[in-house]
Amino acid sequence: MLFMGDLGSLSLGAVLGVVALMTGQWLLLPLIAVIPVANALSDILQVGYFKLTHGKRLFKMAPLHHHFELSGWSETQVVQRFWLISLIGAMFGIAIALA
């Protein structure tokens, strides 16, 4: 099992951002990083919806991976599906960058 803490994940994100800026491909970052973007958006949507509806929730729990776990998915299923979605997003990003 590999667990990347804040130091590893923040460093990896910083490197990805710097490379995107240096190559002029920064517009592709949301596509390549579709899962982190979706997790961040789920938090923002959950808080906004909670405040607007005075206590109702949009998701069972935020961030998004907890919603899927509470929906009955195992942690392994969530990780595998998020990996697959990330891989597809990265492949689309590379295809667009090379086109």
Domain assignment of residue 41, yes or no:
yes
What is the DSSP annotation of 19-40?
HHHHHT-GGGHHHHTHHHHHHH
> Which tens digit of pLDDT belongs to each residue from 47-76?
999 999 999 999 999 888 999 999 999 999
In a domain, 7, yes or no: no
Into how many domains does the chain fold? 1
Assign 3 a pLDDT band (cuts: 50, 70, 90). low
Tell me the DSSP string of 56-90.
Answer: --SSSSSSHHHHHHHTT--HHHHHHHHHHHHHHHH
User: Rounded to whole angstroms, how far apart are CA atoms 27 and 11?
Assistant: 20
pLDDT of residue 31: 86
Inside any domain, residue 45: yes
Q: Please, which pLDDT band fits residue 13 given cuts at 50, 70 and 90?
A: confident
Residue 57 lies in a domain: yes
Residue 52 lies in a domain: yes
| pLDDT tens string 76-88 | 999 999 999 999 9
Position 28 confidence tier, pLDDT thresholds 50, 70, 90:
confident
Domain membership of residue 54 as a residue range = 27-98
In a domain, 1, yes or no: no
